[in-house]
Structure 1
Amino acid sequence: MPQREIDDLDRYIIYALQGDARGTSAREIADARGVSSSTVRNRIKRLQDDGIIRGSHLDIDFEAAGYQLYTLILCTAPIPKREQLARQALDVDGVVSVREIMTGDENVHITVVGQDSDDLSRIGRDLSALGFEIVEEELIRNEYTCAYTAFDCDRPVE
């Protein structure tokens, strides 16, 4: 259950920012919805303060940046320590994201970037030292994302 109800303007702001947070201005959103830019900026701040918008992240092509080993590491963590370990994993050099999974044995997915196999081995050792059991490692070729359509107020409801 959300902390507070979000209205159509909030949903549109979230939808627009999901598409291109850096390239979408408050003025563009305001013009599209018939409100002032200050209203949009205030709404964005409130969505951030309420923890609904938690950040805006760059989409990096690691291979083009010279990092060939963009890798997903599937781990098992003891349930009582899962959240704590997931947060600690972010301190390991090379870790770029961590997901806690609610079901299954592979209950933590850690995305890492390494320069070479020695780098990946070090990251694996560091994660194991924290208390993770590494189950599998998968090289990622590409990752694609899109805006969640439920926030698109202009889309017809099915």
Structure 2
Amino acid sequence: MAELDEVDYGILHLLQSNARDQTPVDMAESLPVSAQTVRNRIEKLEERGVIEGYVPVIDYEEAGFPMRVKFACTAPVGRRTELAREALEISNVVRVEEMLSARRNLHPLAVARNADEITAVTQALDDLGLRIESERLLRTHHHRPFNHFGEDDVSNE
């Protein structure tokens, strides 16, 4: 597998910043390549699986799901990936992080309208055979795109 170069990293950063409103023409203005090169690179990044998809960032509270609960669960190490996939199929579970550890190795995130929905998720996780170590109500989260260059600006000015 060929390594990514600065153009690829620039494209990834720009897509993470605002994929919805970034056209290849817009990206080419920030990068030292043409819009067609940007299109080709994006296609190759998608084919290689570097870009897995484009998803919106949802404010679940504004969408009517004021409760967000992050679980810390322990799965048998040999079944960790299988149980992560099964946990993701549970209604109201929107993400599952798989950790490289013997304990607390699955972190499902559930969104809900009320405590009854959270209780149903808790029961479903338990029914899978996961040991629930903790449940924490998430207040908020902060995120930013990863800048592969370690600078504030991705352009070559």
TM-score w.r.t. length of structure 1? 0.89
Distance of 2:146 and 2:26 partners within structure 1: 19
Match of 1:7 in 2: 5
Structure 1 unmatched ranges of 5 or more: none
How far does the alpha carbon of each residue in 1:27-51 deviate from its partner, in whole angstroms, 9 at most, with x for none?
1111222422222112111111111
| Cα 1:58–1:151 shift into 2, 3 Å | farther
Match of 2:52 in 1: 54
* Structure 1 residue 129 displacement after superposition: 1.2
The alignment's C-alpha RMSD in Å is 1.6
Q: Which amino acid aligns with 2:56?
A: L
Contact 1:29 1:40 survives alignment (8 Å): yes
* Structure 1 residue 124 displacement after superposition: 1.0
Q: How many correspondences in the alignment?
A: 153
How far does the alpha carbon of each residue in 1:103-152 deviate from its partner, in whole angstroms, 9 at most, with x for none?
25111111111111111011111111112111111111111111112246
Q: Give structure 1 regions of 4+ aligned residues with deviation exceeding 4 angstroms.
A: 151-155
Mapping for residues 22-61 of structure 1, pairs under 5 Å: 22-61=20-59
Distance of 1:113 and 1:49 partners within structure 2: 32
**Percent of aligned pairs sharing the same letter:** 35
Structure 2 unmatched ranges of 5 or more: none
Match of 2:83 in 1: 85
How far does the alpha carbon of each residue in 1:73-127 deviate from its partner, in whole angstroms, 9 at most, with x for none?
1110000000011011111110100100112511111111111111101111111
TM-score w.r.t. length of structure 2? 0.90
* Structure 1 residue 10 displacement after superposition: 0.4
